[in-house]
Amino acid sequence: MSPLRHALIDYLVVRRALGFKLQRTEKLLQQCLTYVEQCGETHLRQPTMLAWATQPGNEQSGWPAYRLAIVRRFAVHLHAIDPATEVPPADVLPWRHGRATPYLYSDDQVTSLLAAAVTLRTSYRVATYRTLIGLLVVTGMRVGEALALDRDDMDVAQRVLTIRHAKFGKSRELPVHPSTVAALHHYLQRDDRPRVATRTAAVFVSLAGTRLRYCNVHWTFHRLVRLAGLTPRSASCRPRIHDLRHRFAVCTLLDAYRSGEDTHPRLHLLSTYLGHVDPVQTYWYLSAAPELLQLASDRLQRHLGGDL
């Protein structure tokens, strides 16, 4: 193994110890080092890193800059150990980073997604995606957290789901409605569940009996989006599976406003439930919902008018 490969292993160990997952980062850095080795080089050099980041086929807006940013961070780390390592300037490639606008699904749109799942190839796949989408809708958990669920993470008696080793290595417990536990239990007891699924502890498994992979779930979800007739609202607002998490957050605060509750305690509970380190992170999930902003504005107006 080359010194660069050893250095990459050490780099990933250090950053993962800080709580970073780095799946995509590792894949991209491995690809970059392969390119460097094919060029016959033993150190990271600016021209080679730039050539790798801008290879044909990577012209998607912002993608070359993202690739270069990944390898640049590794180069900064490596330069402290090996001064022969070159570090590209931070602004050598233009990158306009913008967050996607949340696509807030209506109740009817969620129903359409669940109905579209009926078109999947087998009854078990239909049940898998309807149960998975339903779980994301009613808990707001991250997709990766749902796919990582094991059977032992379900406490049927207490109606609690345990999310283990989530973002930044944190774990948490999610109290859920009895109907949620019942739906998961029914899914696990299906007669058409693949027999080889007994080899894995996963709740959600494929037809091959293995834990569902995010890339396959992502592809299937977009197929369901098309079948349900859901279309983008703008260039930056497209239906994504992650937006079910946004929907949960917004609906939670909408319920608080409509019932006249104090939203501050609800916001802190919501932040904990979603697994956020700080409530500030939760505000992003709420800031792009016009209906929620209108209710907040109405409450403020009543307060200023002396009604509250």
- d(CA 163, CA 201) in angstroms, rounded, equals 14
Residue 245 annotated to the active site: yes
Among 35, 97, 38, 87, smallest CA distance to 65 is for: 97
Least confident of 77-81, 105-109, 148-152, 197-201: 197-201
pLDDT, greater one: 124 or 295? 124
Q: Which of 72, 142, 246, 247 is catalytic?
A: 142
> Cα 10 to chain center, whole Å?
26
Q: Which of 193, 242, 266, 299 is catalytic?
A: 242
Residue 167 annotated to the active site: yes
Supply the pLDDT for residue 98.
62
Supply the pLDDT for residue 277.
78
- Percent of the chain exceeding pLDDT 90 equals 63
- What are the extents of the domains in the chain? 3-79, 111-227, 243-304
Supply the pLDDT for residue 306.
55
Supply the pLDDT for residue 308.
44
| pLDDT, mean of residues 63-79 | 93
Instruction: Give the pLDDT confidence of 108-133 residue by residue, as tens digits.
Output: 999 999 999 999 999 999 999 999 99
Least confident of 43-47, 187-191, 206-210, 279-283: 279-283
Q: Which of 245, 246, 247, 273 is catalytic?
A: 245
- d(CA 146, CA 136) in angstroms, rounded, equals 8
Residue 99 annotated to the active site: no
Residue 242 annotated to the active site: yes
Biggest alpha carbon distance in the chain?
A: 75
pLDDT, greater one: 260 or 152? 152
| CATH no. of 111-227 | 1.10.443.10
Q: Which of 11, 103, 187, 285 is catalytic?
A: 285
| pLDDT, mean of residues 3-10 | 94
Residue 193 annotated to the active site: no
* 154-155 β-sheet, strand order: 154-155, 160-163, 172-175
**Residue partners of 229: CB distance under 8 A and separation at least 6:** 112
Supply the pLDDT for residue 262.
80
Residue 276 annotated to the active site: yes
16 pLDDT above the threshold of 60: yes
Q: What tokens appear for 94 in the block?
A: 């233009």
Instruction: Give the pLDDT confidence of 230-267 residue by residue, as tens digits.
Output: 999 887 889 999 999 999 998 998 888 888 878 778 88
Q: Which helix (H) or strand (E) holds 134?
A: helix 123-139
Least confident of 43-57, 125-139, 161-175: 161-175
Query: Please, how many CA atoms are within 13 Å of residue 246, restricted to the half-sphere of its CB?
Result: 21
Q: Which of 167, 172, 222, 238 is catalytic?
A: 167
Quickly count: other Cβ atoms within 10 Å of residue 185's Cβ.
Answer: 12
Supply the pLDDT for residue 60.
58
pLDDT, greater one: 77 or 308? 77
